[in-house]
Every structure is written in C-alpha cells, then in structure tokens.
Amino acid sequence: MAEIIQRDGTWHFDGETVRIVPGRGKGVHPLRQELGECAVPLRALAGVSFEPDRKGGRLRLRLRDGACPVLRAAGGRLKDAADPYQLTVEKDRSGVAEYFADEVRDALRVEQVPTGAVDGFLLPGPAVPVAGGGGDGTASFDGETVRLTWNWKAKEVKLSGGPVAFPVSEVTGVHWMPAIGLENGHLRFVRGEDPASRAQEAEYDPYALDLWGLSKKEYTAVLVAAAVLVRLPGAAERAPAALPAAPEESAAPAADDHDVALRRLRELGELHRSGVLTDDEFAAAKQAVLRRL
C-alpha cells in the first residue's frame, strides 16, 4: 500500500487500484473538482513517473490509450493543471512521491500489464447528471438526454430557437475543443449522418456551445463530452481489451521478485530512518511488499 496526501489531492494505491481524490483548495482546477474521486485500475495504466523540480515536483499517471473517456474527449488538449492524473507534490514529500511511483511501477511489472491501446473504456467516465458551461450557454447530460440552454450572450439564431434537447441515441459524435489564443473553442454534438452542422461556426450552431476561454470553468464542458462518449450507441458492446492470462502461481516466488522485494524493503527502511515515512506508513508499506511475495 502507498499513499500520498497533498493540498492538490490524495492518491492511494492498494496494489490493484490507484484511487484519486482531488483537493478542494482554491488552486485546484475546476475540471478536477467537478470530476471528483476516481478509481484507476492497474490494467488501465501504461506507466507512472515522478518529475522533481526545485519546488517539489509532479506525479503523473500515464494511462493506456483509449482507457479513459475524459482523456479521449480531450484529445491531448488538457493543460497540466486540469489533468486529473497529475498531482503537484510539495518539496518535503518528494521521497513519498518517489516511493509511490516505484510501488505502482513494480506492480505493473509483476502483473505484466501491457502498455498498448485498448479497444474499450476501462474507466466509467464522469458521473451523471453532469453539466458544463460555455461562453453562450450551458450543456448538461443526465445519462439519456443532452440539453443545451442559452444565455443572453448567445446569437439570435440560438435564442430564437430556444433550448435544445435530444436523446443520446441520436448522437453520432461529440467534439470538444478549448479556446486557444484568439480562437474560440466549442463543444459540438453531431446528430445522424448529416455533416452540415459541422461546417457551421459554433456561435451559430444550435447543437454546439461556443467556448471563449474566459474562465477555467469552461473546461468542465469536456466532462459532458466524456459522459456522452461512453454512452454513444454501440459503446456498451465494445468489450475492454483482455489482458493476457496470468501464469499459474508456483510454490515459490521467482528470484527476480525476491530481489525486487529485498531492494524495496531496504529502501523503505532508509525512508523510515530519514523521517520521510511515518511509523504507520512504513508498517503498511512493508506489509504490502511481503504480501506481494
């Protein structure tokens, strides 16, 4: 077991799942706060790293391609501060962050988790109902129906048509793009096979929010996109990529596992003696290593 508690959030690893609880402080990005607690199974991970700097560092989980609907919806366009799989680490907890990364890394090696892409989501995505604001309105989704409501900043073509609602069964695609520089972004829903609406500017498209980039809260629109993605027609039928069958357990652990365990126990002892790990943290971590054997 490994755990790191920071103002930015808390990460806990029990050997099978990394449980992430975001912080609630003023400096925590709204996207992470709205997403809330999430559990990342070991089989969804491709790697982990700790990147130290003079202020402390950053702990990062690297997920397998296609495993997370939020990352799929974001398409690599999330800022570091908004990424739910990153944790800002304070300087006095750098040793704990290194230990946490090593524990996850060793578990990935022992379980032989592949690092390649998966065919289906391994995380459930944002809980519903979920809502996200834009420059000219708000998008919401309750698990069955997508709703777009407009504010007074919306163009007349949207205001005159009134709020829009349609079942998720009619959605064939959803696209999120944050505002970048002077270019507005959008949250756009595609219905049916007609591509006409895709050519429209988001400010005139009744199936799109116009994102202006004036507030971090606009990033929460990607959570609506992610929640819709996991419920698109056919998404439930796509089975997650199967992991290779685990080899039969032998009576004695492999020599490599013994070496890893002994090295980890030595490292734990050093961290405990130096005061990085408390008595409770040391005892729990030592038992986790022994259980793995």
The predicted pLDDT at position 110 comes to 93
The predicted pLDDT at position 192 comes to 77
Residues of the chain above pLDDT 90, percent: 68
* Cα–Cα distance measured from residue 122 to residue 43, given in angstroms and rounded to the nearest whole number: 8
Q: What angle do CA 22, 59, 217 make, to 5 degrees?
A: 40
* Cα–Cα distance measured from residue 262 to residue 256, given in angstroms and rounded to the nearest whole number: 10
> 186 near 210, Cβ under 8 Å?
yes
* Cα–Cα distance measured from residue 40 to residue 123, given in angstroms and rounded to the nearest whole number: 7
pLDDT tier, 279 (very low <50, low <70, confident <90, very high otherwise): confident
pLDDT tier, 122 (very low <50, low <70, confident <90, very high otherwise): very high
Residues of the chain above pLDDT 70, percent: 78
* Cα–Cα distance measured from residue 181 to residue 178, given in angstroms and rounded to the nearest whole number: 10
Residues 215-254: tens digit of each pLDDT: 888 899 999 999 999 999 766 444 343 333 333 333 344 5
